[in-house]
Structure formats: C-alpha cells, structure tokens
Structure 1
Amino acid sequence: MDAVLSAIKTLFDTLGATVMLPIIIFLLALILGAKPGRAFRAAVTIGVAFVGINLVIGLMWSNLTEVAQAIVKNTGVTRDVVDVGWPSAAAIAFGSSVGLWVIPLTLVVNLVLLALRLTRTLDVDVWNYWHFAFIGSLIVAGTGNLLYGLIGAALAAALALFLGDWTAKAVQKFYGLPGISIPHLTSAPIVPIAIATNWVIERIPGLRDAEWDTETIRKRLGVFGEPVILGLVIGLVLGAIAFYNAGDAMTVLAKVLGAGINLAAVMLLLPRMVAILMEGLIPISESAREFMQKRAGGDREFYIGLDSAILIGHPAAIASALVLVPIAILLSIILPGNRVILFADLAVIPFVVAMTAPVMRGNVLRIVIAGTITLAVGFYIATSMAPLFTSAAVASGFSLPEGAVQITSIADGFLWPPFLFVRTVMGLGALGLVVLAALLGVALFFFLRNTKAWEAAAGAPAEATASAD
C-alpha cells in the first residue's frame, strides 16, 4: 500500500501543478459533458493562466521577502522561534507519515461528502492538500498515534470543504469567479474573524463610516489611487524602510525603485492573469451548471475548488497585505510573550487576508484591522505550537535553520484550525476527534438549514446567495 501511495505522490510531484491541473480540469470537463475540443481549450487556458499567476506571485514573493527580511534585520530583534516559510511546512507535511495518505484520503472524503450532498465543492487543488497533512502530522507528533493523525487530516479536509462552500458565493461575486470556491486552509480560516471584526466596526461611530475601498481611493486620489500607482507608492515606502542603509546612495536608490516597480507590476499583472484564467473557467462553469440541471433537476450547484492564489491580485487584497507587512513586523517586536521572529513567510500575508475582502466589501482599512487581529493572535498560536511544529519537522527529516531553537510558519503555524485540532486531540484523545467531528457537524447543520444567511455574512450579496440543497 505504501508503494502505491508513494507512486501517486511521486506522479503529482514530478508532473507538478502546471501540468497536472490542466489534465484534471480536462477530465472533469469531459465528465461534466463538455465537448472535447472546448474542454481541451479550457484546460490549456487554465494551465497557462496558472503559469502566469505563479510567475507574478514568484516576482512578488522574491521582492516582498527581500524587503521584509531587510526590515526585520534593521530592527535588530532576534527570537528563538524562526519562521521558515510555507514551502518548508509543506515539505514537512508531505514528508510525514500522514503525507503519503493525504491525497487518496482527501479525495475519498470529498467524494463521499459530494455523494451525501454535504458539500458542493470538488477540490481539485491537490497540491494544497498538504494543509490537511500538516494538521495530521502535528497530531501524530503530539499523540504518537498515526490513526488519530489520519482522522484529524480527514476532518481538516471536511472543514476546508465547509469553509469553501460557505464563502463560495461571496468569492464568486466579489472576485468575478463563477462556479469557484476556495477550500484553502491558509485563506478561509480568517473569514469568521473578519465577520466578527466587521460586526464590531459597524458599531463604532466614525470608523464604520470610513470608506477606504479601492474605488473610493481612486476617486479621491486620482492617478495616485490607481492600483498600479498605489503598488508603486507602497513599494517605494516599504523599500525606503527596508533599504535606507543598504549601501551607497545609488545602491539604496536602485533597491527602493526596484521594490516600487516590482510591486507595481504585481498590482497590474495579477488581475490580467486572473482574467485569462476566467476565459478557461467560464466554459467549465457552464458545463457544471448544465450537468447539475440534467442530473439533479437544477436544484443543486457544483463548485470547483481552487487555490487562493487566484484571489490575491485584487487591488484591495494586495494593497491591504502590503500595508500589513510592517504591521506584522511591529507586532513581533511589541507583543509581550511572543517568541516568533518573522522571516520567510511575510509574503504569504496576501493569502491570509484575501478572503476578508468580500466580507469588508473591499474596504482596505477594515481588511487591515481584521488582518492585524489575526496576526496578533497568530503570534501566540505560533509560540504555543512551535514545539510540535519542530517535532514534526525533525520527524520528517527537516533540518532546522542555524540559530533556530524552534520553527513555525505563518501559513499554518499562525492559524486557528491547526491549534484547535491539535490541542483538542492532545487533550482528549479519541474523544477529541469526536468533539471536532461534532462541532463540524453542528456548523454544517446550521449552514444547510439557513444557507443564505451564512453566505450573506461571508459577504455574498442577497441576489447571489444559494438555496440549500
């Protein structure tokens, strides 16, 4: 069995997302009844779009990471828990005992929930199944029980599908992505926090009236409110903070201007890449709708679950995330009891906050507030979870960075699902898994009972909300 599981994992690792995703989309489109030619073109277009998205994200990642690390270095602050970044966390997850099982396990969970009408999402974002394996690997590290880890990973997959369904209508309307959901455990967990934050803001005079959405900013600031210029300005400010002492005047100027231009490029190019993605998604979405009308009498919807990378090109999401970078560094310095120093994963902040944008109607100020709260709580979660994170890393053969006593990652180490799952199972054992399943079942029951209200709370306009299956 291990050989079969290893072969499946090797196949996906070798071909990579840019090759496997078009194949999966092509096969899915054929199953949904699309004509072969149309399905093939849509699949290739989606694959090309993801190549473009990944190239632009790579540009953002390299530049934002360099800027953030320079800012951290300038503070002179050191901590004993080092942020190693999500690629390291993913390697730890897939290298764990749970990692071999996570792909077939998640597919089984997804198909069973679809058959039972307990989800509308088919999660084809196989490469982000590592989030489920990560939670499972931490459970194994904390309990020494592989079965607990596998059940925990399965429940994490079910949670992701639930969050994807809950937020789908809001994401589709705000981002213009018909038929798509985002069952992503780096991005979706912030939604309950954003809803609570928005509720509080609505009750604070003055703050509730502050309109800082990108359209209002554009009207007030003119050309300086355009996304590309906004990216340039934010990049120049961050570059100046990061590189003011990088060398002689010419070196400083080059680095600051480079940061500005590169982040301006991200603000301009990411939406263009998502527009190409839409060319491929629309035929698939139409085929899914026709398929459901024929097979389910038109009373059921079907979503394709994708990576949250397709969201972060929105001006409100990326602008808020760039503002949150220095805020995150400041929090790491001033929060009492925090042991985490941010280093490799500051560029993941756009992914963390992207799904707050529909809840906040694109209001940058509100997104920043929700992001600040999430990060502040996250530092304490990361400090608490660092010993287990480190144990799981060592068990999977990961080498700790020089000078690091323990490690973490913003992508998963800062967020509430791993903390909730791991601490519950460590504290209650098998009963903890029952408690988690019960909590998820209760949430799903109330969601299916009053779907429109839940979707509206997540940011979906009234006309976009779905009826329960």
Structure 2
Amino acid sequence: MELLSTVVQSLLDLGAAIFVPIIIILAGLIVKMKLKDAISAGLTLGVAFTGMTMLINFMTGAITPAAEAMLKNVGISLPIIDGGWTTMSTISWSWPYAFLMFPLMILINIVMLVLKKTNTFNADLWNVWGKIFTAVGVVAITGSVPLAFLVAAIQIIFELKTADVHQKRIEELSGIPGVTCTHKMVLFGALMYPVDVLLRKIPVFNKKFDAAALKDKVGIFAENHVLGFILGIVFGLMAGYDVSKTLTLAIQCATALTLFPVITKYFMQALSPISEAVSDYMNKRFEGRTLLVGLDWPFLGGSNEIWLAVIWAVPVTLLCALFLPGNEILPFAGIINLALAVPAYLVTKGNLPRMLILCTLGVPAFLWVGTAFAPFITDLANATGAVALQAGEMISNSSIDAPVFTYAISQVFDIINGNWIPLVVLVVWGVCYVFYYRELKKENQQAEAETVQNNLGE
C-alpha cells in the first residue's frame, strides 16, 4: 500500500506538463500511432501546457498586486486567506487516503468505457486532486472514508457524462475534433444555464457577439494587444498606480492577451493527430463508436472571450468581496478565476455579453463557498502541516472549481447536524443539470444526424 502511494505521488509530482503528455504518448502507442508521432504529440502538448501555465502565472503576477492595491485603497479587512488552487491541491494530497483516488478514477473510467456508459477516455488524471478535495469535505462532516470515496465516485461519473455531451459544442468552439473537457469546473455551467436561457429571449442578447464580432464593431480597439493595453490602463488607474506602473501593467496585459491564442495553436497541433488515431482505432473495433479524449481546460485558452471574462471578473470579485453579505474571504491567489469564465464560455457558446452577465452573477457563489469551506480546510491544513498557518489564521480558496456542486455534494450529509442548506442546493443544482444535459445531448444528436445526412449526400 505504501509503495503504491509512493509511486502515484511520484508520478503526480511531475506536474501536468509532464504527466499528461506521458499519458497521451502511452495512449497514442495503444491506438497504434507511430512512436515518433506519439512522442512528438506528447512533447508538443507538454510545451502547450507549460506555455499556458507561464502565461497564466505572468498574468496573475501582473494583476494580483493591482487587485491588492485596489482593496487597500478602500481599507478592506477580511479574515480568510485566499490560498488559490495550488494550496487546495497541497492540502488535499495531505489526506492519508488520497493516493487511492487515482486507481479509483482509472477503474471507473475503464468500466464505463467497457459498458458503453461513456465514450470519454479521461487523460486529465493529474487533476485527480479535485476528487480528493470533495472526499475530504465528506470526511469532515461524516468521518466516513468509504462514504467519501462513494461521493467522489459519483463526481467522477458526472465528469465523464458531462464531458460526453459537451464534445460537439467544444469542437465547434475550439476547432479540435475528438477532444472534450473532463475538468470539474464545467459543472458550474448547470446553474448558469437557466439564466442564459432567459437572456437568449432578449433580442439584444440573442445575436452572435463573440470577440470577432466585437472586432467588427470597434475595429482596432478589439485587437488583442490594444484591448489588453486598454484594460491594463483601467486596472492601473483603479489601483492608484503612477504613470510608469500603469503603463507597465498595460503592456503586460497586452502581452498576455496577444500570446494566449498563440499557445493554443500548440494544443491543436498536439491533439489533432491523437484524436484522429483514437477515432480510427475505435472505428475499427467498435463500429459506429468514437472514443473522445478528455483533457483539462487549457486547450480552450485561445478563446479571447474567456480572457475578457476573466479580466472583467476581477473588479467584480473585488467589489463583491467588499459588499457581499456573508463573505469573509479576501480574494487574491484565486483572483484569475478560470473556473468562472470557462463554464460561461461553454454555456453561451462564446456570446460575450451573456458571458459577462453570467460571470457577474456567478461571483458570489465562489466567495460564499470559499467562506463556508474555510473552517474544515483550515483544520485539515493544521492537522497535516500541509500549510503553515499562524494561530487564529484561516485559509480557503476564492475560486473553488464548480463551487456549488462541490459544496452541495460534499456537505449534503451535514443534515445530521440539522443543516439542510447543502441538500436544498444539491437539489436545485441537480434540476438545472438535467435541463442543461438534455440541451447538450439534443445538440449532439442533431450534429450526428447532420453528419449522417452529409455522408449520404456524398
């Protein structure tokens, strides 16, 4: 058991930029890709992951000090430290049973593939910590390890089923066939969906309005580098920076927005041959069935709409932190909230005005859940020594992936303590999820019917 834990932890310690390409190379060889092609695809994917991580860190490093300055200008004081996702991952892996989640995730995926309950092969094994985080939340309430793994297994199934129905929409948006997103963050889209349905009924919001449409309307001012520069100027002024620091921030924002689409091209270059090889392999062995490759969100990172929504959400989050009743978390490490922007992008198909509205309405959920999770996250951090905290300090995350789902499914057993809120939230999320799932499934069926019709026409 200890040996398995050591092996699993050693693999995951490599990081996504190494671990995921290794999985992709092995998958490529299994589906009969040439060795040189599989290695090339894997290495290119590693380059893409590393490039995206560098850019996100660069952008976070530029914007976080500005956000901190904005809050200092108004004299805000909130007691809960925002440790970001990296701190949550470290704390999750400090759970003694964490290493068992890795084989459980693989086993469930294999069983569902064999039983034809999913078509997604989840190569995003590195993000297994998200399931561990949910399990830790269950243990904090119930003290039951078996129940924690049962709830985590349910989350794994939801992630695979959601990845299946998102694939056609993701292909339409990204241009990459045979690839989908298995990250938990997309589950937040269920709550965004009913609001988006209402917005679609308003004529002004029911028109195509992505970044390209914005460019057509305002010309050069919607070019990535110009738009990034303008946003940087705005942030600098809000932070009270002097001219030099404001211009530096503007150039940094311009650089980030200019390079994100460049990096995404490497995801396409890496994933296209893999998805084609997997598709050919499956078609030969399972007539009429196509296997999908499930990945983390970064292959969508070339979408300007995502980054515009991320930047928009920064001041919205700061304002909410100031005035939102019940919030006690100070948003810093999680201020670049991709777990908010990516689901909005998928739900709206990149409609920018609707994305900004959904992100604005979604911010409170992240702050409330971050506040609610702080006690048990702090207790675990102190018990394991994973994070050094001073006496009385509390830690959490202002951008927990799929916050409503994670809160509801991990805290639902708090009914034993008389707290019915998580159960009510879980029911509401479940109802929204059913309707969102139905729309995505119908969309997939229509796309498949059109493909069949086109093939017959040829």
Alignment TM-score, normalising by the size of structure 2 = 0.89
Does residue 329 of the first structure (1) align with residue 318 of the second (2)?
Answer: yes
Does the 8 Å contact 1:309/1:351 carry over to 2?
A: no
SS at the partner of 2:333?
coil
Q: Report the Cα distance in structure 1 between the residues aligned to 2:377 and 2:307, rounded to whole angstroms.
A: 28
Shift of 1:465: 8.0
Q: Report the Cα distance in structure 2 between the residues aligned to 1:466 and 1:28, rounded to whole angstroms.
A: 30
Q: Report the Cα distance in structure 1 between the residues aligned to 2:84 and 2:354, rounded to whole angstroms.
A: 26
Q: Report the Cα distance in structure 1 between the residues aligned to 2:3 and 2:271, rounded to whole angstroms.
A: 35
Q: Report the Cα distance in structure 2 between the residues aligned to 1:203 and 1:396, rounded to whole angstroms.
A: 51
Does the 8 Å contact 1:120/1:303 carry over to 2?
A: yes
Q: Report the Cα distance in structure 2 between the residues aligned to 1:172 and 1:425, rounded to whole angstroms.
A: 38
Please name the residue that 2:455 is paired with. none
Please name the residue that 1:163 is paired with. 162
Please name the residue that 1:203 is paired with. 201
Q: Report the Cα distance in structure 2 between the residues aligned to 1:416 and 1:24, rounded to whole angstroms.
A: 30
Using the aligned pairs only, state the percent identity. Answer: 27
Shift of 1:404: 6.0
Using a 3 Å threshold, how does the CA distance of structure 1 residues 453 and 209 change in structure 2: closer, same or farther? Answer: closer
Question: Following superposition of structure 1 onto structure 2, how do residues 213-232 of structure 1 map, counting pairs within 5 Å?
Answer: 213-232=210-229
Does residue 111 of the first structure (1) align with residue 110 of the second (2)?
Answer: yes
1:356-379, CA deviations, whole angstroms, 9 ceiling, x for partnerless residues?
A: 223223222211111122211332
Shift of 1:462: 4.5
1:101-155, CA deviations, whole angstroms, 9 ceiling, x for partnerless residues?
A: 1211211121111111112222222221111000111111222222222222222
Shift of 1:398: 3.2
Please name the residue that 2:447 is paired with. 463
Question: Following superposition of structure 1 onto structure 2, how do residues 128-167 of structure 1 map, counting pairs within 5 Å?
Answer: 128-167=127-166
Number of residue pairs aligned between Structure 1 and Structure 2:
443
Please name the residue that 2:359 is paired with. 371
Please name the residue that 2:77 is paired with. 78
Q: Report the Cα distance in structure 1 between the residues aligned to 2:150 and 2:411, rounded to whole angstroms.
A: 15
1:169-227, CA deviations, whole angstroms, 9 ceiling, x for partnerless residues?
A: 21121122221111112x21221123212111123455x35764212211121111112
SS at the partner of 1:411?
coil
Please name the residue that 1:320 is paired with. 309
Please name the residue that 1:179 is paired with. 178
Does residue 3 of the first structure (1) align with residue 15 of the second (2)?
Answer: no
Shift of 1:393: 2.4
Using a 3 Å threshold, how does the CA distance of structure 1 residues 404 and 224 change in structure 2: closer, same or farther? Answer: farther
Please name the residue that 1:276 is paired with. 266
Question: Following superposition of structure 1 onto structure 2, how do residues 26-41 of structure 1 map, counting pairs within 5 Å?
Answer: 26-41=25-40
Supply the AA of the counterpart residue of 2:215: R
Shift of 1:162: 2.1
Question: Following superposition of structure 1 onto structure 2, how do residues 89-108 of structure 1 map, counting pairs within 5 Å?
Answer: 89-108=88-107
Does the 8 Å contact 1:168/1:181 carry over to 2?
A: yes
Does residue 381 of the first structure (1) align with residue 379 of the second (2)?
Answer: no
1:335-385, CA deviations, whole angstroms, 9 ceiling, x for partnerless residues?
A: 1222222121101x1343113223223222211111122211332223323
Q: Report the Cα distance in structure 1 between the residues aligned to 2:446 and 2:130, rounded to whole angstroms.
A: 32
Gapped regions of structure 1 (runs ≥ 5): 245-251
Counterpart pick for 1:454 among 436, 440, 444: 440
Does the 8 Å contact 1:188/1:355 carry over to 2?
A: yes
Does the 8 Å contact 1:357/1:367 carry over to 2?
A: yes
Please name the residue that 1:361 is paired with. 349
Using a 3 Å threshold, how does the CA distance of structure 1 residues 53 and 381 change in structure 2: closer, same or farther? Answer: closer
Supply the AA of the counterpart residue of 2:415: G
Q: Report the Cα distance in structure 2 between the residues aligned to 1:234 and 1:291, rounded to whole angstroms.
A: 46
Please name the residue that 2:254 is paired with. 264
Does the 8 Å contact 2:62/2:252 carry over to 1?
A: yes
Counterpart pick for 1:424 among 400, 412, 428: 412
